[in-house]
Amino acid sequence: MDNQAFTEQFEQTYSAAPKVLVHAPGRVNIIGEHTDYNEGFVFPAAINFGTWVAATKRDDNTILVTAVDYDNQQNQFPLDDIQFDNEQGWANYVRGVVKVLKEALPDFGGANLLVTGNVPQGAGLSSSASFEVAILKAISALYELPLDGVQAALLGQKAENTFVGCSCGIMDQLISAMGNEGKAMLLDCQSLAIEHSPLPSTHQIVIINSNVKRGLVDSEYNLRREQCEESASILGVSSLRGATLEQLENTKSEMSEVVYRRARHIITENARTLTAAQALKDGDIATVSQAMAESHVSMRDDFEITVKPIDFLVEIISEVIGETGGVRMTGGGFGGCVVALVPTDQVDVVKQVVEYNYFDETGYKADVYVCTATQGAFA
């Protein structure tokens, strides 16, 4: 939806022109999976799919939000008593971020909000963080609140952890808030230090949605987090960020085989993420390719979060691009998307290989998105 059409829809809904129109991007994680809540390293890029929010002030202390993508469903709640909504699940992302924003920066009143987005939901491209950051940007812009991108990201994460009920890390919100056009972002999830790396102009980010649906607020994601915490406790470190492979091998007998493999994925994934980020800066695509391939194998075998259709996509794309690009599953797992760094002149071949082979093998139809790295909402 273009800005003019969105503005017109706001006027039809609220009989007034919006005072604020903001956009927050979704993201794809090039490498560094499940490392974020272990205080490790991740390497995402903000993508040109995201959430748009238009807003005006109200004279009362009520938030009224209309969701274009849910048949213009409306949800209304008072600022002084924000409760979880058991009927309209999508509304809890709005309620959660408004609640934590009110606790941090209470100097704002009611608002009429119109929301739409084009991040494929349940695909692992972080539609929820995009939604949260867009709401935070809209209200902070509307009321001129002194909210910066890092604080916004932390508030979005807090809302998802404490209100929505998903133990997500900080990556999704921070890249949506602070991404840079044409660059990927190496994020240290312990210190929140950010370093932007230019993506090669010779390559495209290609995202293939397996259309194997997944939900993040589920037992498997939270179970992985518990297993990581268990291994860190046995290793005597506050998080797996502080552990080495040598330490892990020395304490292997003290943990279950499953917990050992979960820890091995995180420790090796942190190393791969740093390697890939540096290799990209050096223009060493072969090393990026190897790191992404090893990341996928580790997610498949040690962290056990891939599914057969995803593994098949990685296999057939890897056969096309070889060492000239990289491919791996991206996102929380159990379905969702594959991310590939593909030489521009091979993008059409990758599309064809997916189109000709994926459905016949799996019974699923894939959606392919050729993306650009875009600017964050607060950048």
b/e map of 249-277 (b: 16 or more CB within 10 Å)? Answer: eebeeebeeebbbbbbbbbbbbebbbbbb
Question: Ramachandran region of residue 34, left (φ > 0), alpha (ψ -120 to 50) or beta?
Answer: left
β-strands 111-117, 62-67 pairing: parallel
Strand partners, 368: 208
**Closest alpha carbon to 180 in 169, 195, 191:** 195
85 labelled catalytic = no
- d(CA 113, CA 314) in angstroms, rounded, equals 40
- d(CA 228, CA 191) in angstroms, rounded, equals 19
Count of residues making up the chain: 379
Greatest CA separation for the chain: 67
- d(CA 9, CA 34) in angstroms, rounded, equals 39
Residues in contact with 184: Cβ distance below 8 Å, sequence separation at least 6, in sequence order: 30, 43, 44, 45, 196, 197, 199, 277, 280, 373
b/e map of 311-347 (b: 16 or more CB within 10 Å)? Answer: bbbbebbbebbeebbbbbbbbbbbbbbbbbbbbeebb
- Catalytic site residue from 81, 85, 172, 284: 172
- Point out the residues that are catalytic: 172
